[in-house]
Amino acid sequence: MCIYEKYINPFTDFGFKKIFGDREDTSLLKSLINDILGLEGEDKIKKITFKNGELLPDSPTDRKAIFDLYCEDEKGSSFIVELQKIYQKHFQSRALYYTSFPIQEQAIRGSWDFSLTPIYFIGLLNFEVHKFRDSQAYLHHGKITDIKTKEIMYDKLNMIYVEIPKLKKAKEELNSHLEWWLYVFQNLNRLQEIPQALKGDVIEKAFEKAEFIKLPKVEQDKYHKNLKVYRDLVNSFATADKEGHKRGVKEGMEKGIKQGIKKGLKKGIKQGIEKGIHKEKLEIAKNLLLSNMDIAFIVEVTGLSLKEIEQLKE
């Protein structure tokens, strides 16, 4: 007899879009965005309209962008909401690249004074960013600022990262609505009932959407397939990280003997980890290709280049 978790995992593509990607009911996505932005009263987003999540470049040879969720509020501000399930080395660069598409999308043919509406990139991260490793804060909101005065030079481009694993609280310790959202991300598929504090709250609707047994059979099958891909990714990257550290320590020690323990160990560990992780990424890509997964999806989840994926396919 198969025993399934009562609620689907929100870190899967299926689970995330099932909860937040409903074009007919945007209340959950609005709640999450408003909590992340810390908006109050009249400034809260009142309406969200979904836009095409696949944006094409000007040239067919350039790389396109495929967003998890792409929407616009009633004021014309653009929101890219991305769920990053596993660590990606150049995630911040990819995030910045993604914002170039809604910027270009605002361009008006003919006479135009280059006036832009705000753009928000919101990264929901299932890992901790190395740059913020010494900070206990899980929410980071960046704008273009003067590096000396710290004054904001341009406020239309917003880069927001939410490091979900950094919330290390039991439900009795949560003290904000955003923390409840992060708690749900971390624990939804482990829970058997809705926490009492969420009864009557908008987040209760997330539990209703995520209840596995109420999904149509075709969606249950789709979720199982998606869950397997997610688990394979997590397990493969965990193995790669572990093996990469082992190889890195060994190589670092060998280099250290010849070039100096301190210098060699540091360099060896770095090279070993990167080599191990890259090897595991190639294996993941091979498995996804065999499963007939979309190449753009494989590029996104592995971080490999399009050229590497195409070479594997050949």
Contacts of 291 by beta carbon, 8 Å cutoff, 6+ apart: 229
Binned at pLDDT 50, 70 and 90, residue 152 comes out as: very high
* In-domain check, residue 2: no
CB of 143 closer than 8 Å to CB of 154: yes
Range of the domain at 48: 13-214
What pLDDT score was predicted for residue 263?
Answer: 60
**pLDDT per residue over 20-31, tens digit each?**
999 999 999 999
Q: Are residues 196 and 228 in the same domain?
A: no
40 pLDDT band, cuts 50/70/90, is low
Looking at the structure of the chain, the number of domains it has is: 2
5 within a domain of the structure (yes/no): no
Tell me the pLDDT tens digit for each residue of 46-63.
999 998 866 555 544 455
Residue 190 located in a structural domain: yes
Q: Tell me: do 206 and 58 sit in the same domain.
A: yes
Same domain, 294 and 270: yes
Contact 183, 35 (CB under 8 A): no
- The continuous run of DSSP H or E covering 84 comes out as strand 78-84
Residue 30 resides in a domain: yes
Establish if 7 belongs to a structural domain: no
Q: Look at the alpha carbons of 132, 135, 138, 144 in this order and tell me if their dihedral is positive or negative.
A: negative
